[in-house]
Amino acid sequence: MTSKIINMAEKIKDADDRLLESIFETSPIPDAGFSVAVVRRVRRRLWLRRLAVPVAALIGGGIAVKPLAGFVSIVASLSPMIPPQFIETATSMIPQLPTVVLGGMVLAVCLIGIRSLED
């Protein structure tokens, strides 16, 4: 009820209001390709976002290859320090570990691929 009264009070316009409305009144602006230009910019941004993740992954991978290779070689050089009994125990307890790791990586790649296709 109160809001209705407020709305009614708003609609009661004095001469100044009507004059101001007539001064502010303008004819509609024709679209003239404006909406097409906006949609084109939106689509371009969508494509850029879709490309951003794979491109970033490629660049990141490229940058990370060399230090990663160094890290792997360091780890490999440290492997003789690990007691053989420990490795045997670990492989006997989790025999499918390499398969699990590989499966996890494939799953992650699939999820990222599906996500980017959805986008």
Partner 1 sequence: MSGSDDHRLVARVVSSQDTTAFGELVRRHQSQVRNFLRKLAGDVSAADDLSQDCFLHAWDKMHTYSGRGSFIGWLLKIAYTTFLQSRRKSKRYAEIIEEVGHKMQTDSQTCTLPADEVTDLDKLLAVLDDEERAIMIMSYACGLSHREIGDATSMPVGTVKSIIFRGKQKIRTSFDIKDHKHG
Interatomic CA distance for residues 71 and 73, integer angstroms = 5
Residue 53: count other Cβ atoms within 10 Å of its Cβ. 13
How many residues form the binding site for partner 1 (CB under 8 A)? 29
Interatomic CA distance for residues 99 and 89, integer angstroms = 17
Nearest CB to partner 1, comparing residues 25 and 75: 25
Nearest CB to partner 1, comparing residues 36 and 106: 36
Asked if 119 and 46 count as a contact pair (C-beta separation under 8 A), the reply is: yes
Enumerate residues 8-47 that contact partner 1 by CB under 8 A: 10, 16-17, 19-26, 28-31, 34-39, 41-43, 45-46
Contacts to partner 1 by CB under 8 A: 6-7, 10, 16-17, 19-26, 28-31, 34-39, 41-43, 45-46, 119
